A and B are shown apart, each in its own frame.
Chain A
Amino acid sequence: EVQLVQSGPEVKKPGESLRISCKGSGYSFTNYWISWVRQMPGKGLERMGRIEPSDSYTHYSPSFQGHVTISVDRSISTAYLQWSSLKASDTAMYYCARWRAYCTSTTCHYDPFDIWGQGTTVTVSS
């Protein structure tokens, strides 16, 4: 079965660091990109950024650039989202999702997010 399994809920204090994970199974992990999506309580889906596991290339949305780091460990088919200093405003549900790009020498086409992780709740409170 193709799936993304995320790490469990986290409760942290402001200023603390955190790393959450997203483990892929049932498919070739390096053939698909992983994006992270934030959903604040009662709000919509916000794209945070993506990683291309084949070469660890990352791209961040401007709103998240410099505040989070996305990484990958290909040996264990796992992507990570980490914070060095959490804020109360980081309280949210975080999802990972996989998708794919098909590129020629001149253009790329993309697939949608076909598999999502179950989500990781992060609560930041003093």
Chain B
Amino acid sequence: EIVLTQSPGTLSLSPGERATLSCRASESVGSNSLAWYQQKPGQAPRLLIFGASSRATGIPDRFSGSGSGTDFILTISRLEPEDFAVYYCQQYGSLPETFGQGTNLEIK
């Protein structure tokens, strides 16, 4: 199965700053089938990005995804207070689908 490694494990930033989260796959992700999810405390994960770069319905345009093959990036252009959460990447291009271990984006 494809192993996803996210970095950093924790990212400490201030509102208004730019966040860059990384997800690296152990082998190429088929059809760039890479998703990002946001999880806030006490809530279920929410789909943000699919197909590496497409925003899900209702996701603000400050969230963007990029990358291909084995290296993917989630960028949050200007952090809002509600963006501080845990972010997971997931590859669903080949079964079994797998998750990264998560990046905790915390307020500095």
Instruction: Tell me the A residues contacting B by CB distance below 8 Å.
Output: 35, 44-47, 59, 61, 95, 97, 99, 109-114, 116-119
Contact A110 B90 (CB under 8 A): no
Nearest-neighbour CB distance to chain B for A125, whole angstroms, equals 21
Minimal Cβ-Cβ distance residue in A for B36:
A112
- Selected contact of A110 from candidates B88, B97, B99, CB within 8 Å: B97
The A-contacting residues of B in range 50-108, CB under 8 angstroms, are 50, 56, 86, 88, 90, 92-93, 95-102
Minimal Cβ-Cβ distance residue in B for A108:
B95
Total count of chain B residues near the partner, CB < 8 A: 24
Residues of chain A contacted by B96 (CB below 8 angstroms): 47, 59, 61
Nearest-neighbour CB distance to chain A for B84, whole angstroms, equals 17
Say whether B40 faces chain A, with CB atoms less than 8 Å apart: no
Per-residue CB contact flags for chain B residues 11-42 toward chain A (1 = under 8 Å, else 0) read 00000000000000000000101010101000
Instruction: Tell me the B residues contacting A by CB distance below 8 Å.
Output: 31, 33, 35, 37, 39, 44-47, 50, 56, 86, 88, 90, 92-93, 95-102
Minimal Cβ-Cβ distance residue in B for A101:
B95
- 15 CB contacts below 8 A, A to B, read A35-B97, A44-B101, A45-B99, A45-B102, A47-B98, A59-B96, A95-B44, A97-B45, A110-B93, A111-B50, A111-B92, A113-B35, A113-B37, A114-B56, A116-B44
Contact A112 B90 (CB under 8 A): yes
Residues of chain A contacted by B47 (CB below 8 angstroms): 112-114
Contact B90 A46 (CB under 8 A): no
- Selected contact of A44 from candidates B46, B56, B88, CB within 8 Å: B88
Docked complex Cα distance between A97 and B35 (Å) = 14
Contact B50 A46 (CB under 8 A): no
Residues of chain A contacted by B90 (CB below 8 angstroms): 112-113
Nearest-neighbour CB distance to chain A for B31, whole angstroms, equals 6
Docked complex Cα distance between A60 and B90 (Å) = 17
